[in-house]
Amino acid sequence: MTNAADAEQDRLILDSLGRFLEREVKPHVHALEHDDVYPEAIVEAMKSLGLFGATIGAEYGGLGLSATTYAKICELVSTVWMSLAGIFNSHLIMAAAVERFGTPEQKAEFLPRFATGELRGGLALTEPDCGTDLQAIRTTARRRGNDTYVINGTKMWISNGIHGQMFALLVKTDPATEPRHRGMSLFLAAKGPGFAVSRKLEKLGYKGIDTAELTFTDYEVPADRLIGGAEGRGLQHALGGLELGRINVAARGVGLAQAALDEAIAYAQVRHAFGKPIWEHQAIQLKLADMATQVEAARLLTERAAGIYDRGERCDLEAGMAKLFASEAAVNVSLEAMRIHGSYGYSKEFNIERYYRDAPLLLIGEGTNELQRIIIARQLIARNKV
């Protein structure tokens, strides 16, 4: 496609998505979020829009969208309800692991079903005693015969854990090997005997999306579900998908921050104090200027990371920067929007308190911001050796 054709495609996709969000999501967000209800009807509609196949190649029935376009989709969705972006993003990280590293048979069998949303799921990495340090996982997969592995262990904070059907599951196939990552493998694990959802995890924000603890007790998985067909590559496969995940988290931060900024700008024009709209007071002007600058800077960082990903280049530095800055911007802007709204910002009748509760998740998800800083620093040195 030419650049003009790409731009027109983006416009059509985003216009269609915007109408859907306005018509099908906005009227229901407040009630669904308040009651922490999984948005089944909205998820069915997202299937029809192709969101569960957004980044999956067209040859497998997906939309084959670039990371740049995908980031715009995540941003737009997050201006209305950030949780929805999490529902399809976790699923697409699983799909990306299969598309980038899976065997031809795995791609042919699963990607078309992932693309339609018929088979949905996510990424099962984190454990009760292990988050950022993935090499410390304890879930094991033991080979039994030529065609089966037996898995035992627990996974924690798994998005789509209750309503998803299949997960990219990170395990230790050789717990004793050093370095530890060489003993790690990634499986496609479908729900069945030995695979249980042990509990739903309650959260401060990020409601609606189901987050669960998963347990595996002598769970049997066919050997042909080992992604790539060879043991010892699981950590690399998982981390490869997290580049796209961090771009998604950054885009979510941009969307949430933009929504908070938009509401603050509107409120500042209708709320009066000391005889004039509060936007005319210098204290509010300074806040709005800083908020808008943070949103735009976060958007540009996200677009840059997505562009590098689209070129097939390594982008852990750029994705880390985008995720770090955009998530911090979301927290800062949502807090400033609450201050501008005063008491109304603290009320559950308004959206501002939801933005304020949702934003901190972005500081933690897809690798904490402390980890992002370490990655950024290491990449700076690696790319600028003296």
CA distances from 265 to 269, 296, 333, 341 (A): 7, 15, 12, 10
Q: Where are the domains of the chain?
A: 3-116, 121-233, 236-383
User: Residue 40 pLDDT more than 80?
Assistant: yes
CA distance 369 to 321: 9
The CATH code of the domain at 121-233 is 2.40.110.10
Overall residue count recorded for the chain in this entry: 386
Give the per-residue pLDDT at 6.
Answer: 73
CATH topology of 3-116 equal to that of 121-233?
no
Indicate the DSSP class of residue 131.
Answer: S
349 is catalytic: no
Residue with tokens 């099962």: 124
Check: pTM over 0.85? Answer yes or no: yes
SS3 194: coil
Give the per-residue pLDDT at 2.
Answer: 56
Does 236-383 carry CATH code 1.20.140.10? Answer: yes
SS3 306: helix
Give the per-residue pLDDT at 3.
Answer: 72
Q: Note the pLDDT tens digit of each residue in 321-358.
A: 999 999 999 999 999 999 999 999 999 999 999 999 99
Q: Average the pLDDT over 243-266 and give the result.
A: 96
Q: Which of 243, 263, 336, 366 is catalytic?
A: 366
Give the per-residue pLDDT at 223.
Answer: 97
Q: In terms of DSSP bridges, do strands 195-200 and 140-144 run parallel, antiparallel, or are they unpaired?
A: unpaired
Show Cβ contacts of residue 283 under 8 Å, excluding neighbours closer than 6 positions: none
Q: Note the pLDDT tens digit of each residue in 46-55.
A: 999 999 999 9
Q: Note the pLDDT tens digit of each residue in 164-222.
A: 999 999 999 999 888 888 899 999 999 999 999 999 999 999 999 999 999 999 999 99
Q: Which fold has domain 3-116?
A: Butyryl-Coa Dehydrogenase, subunit A; domain 1 (1.10.540)
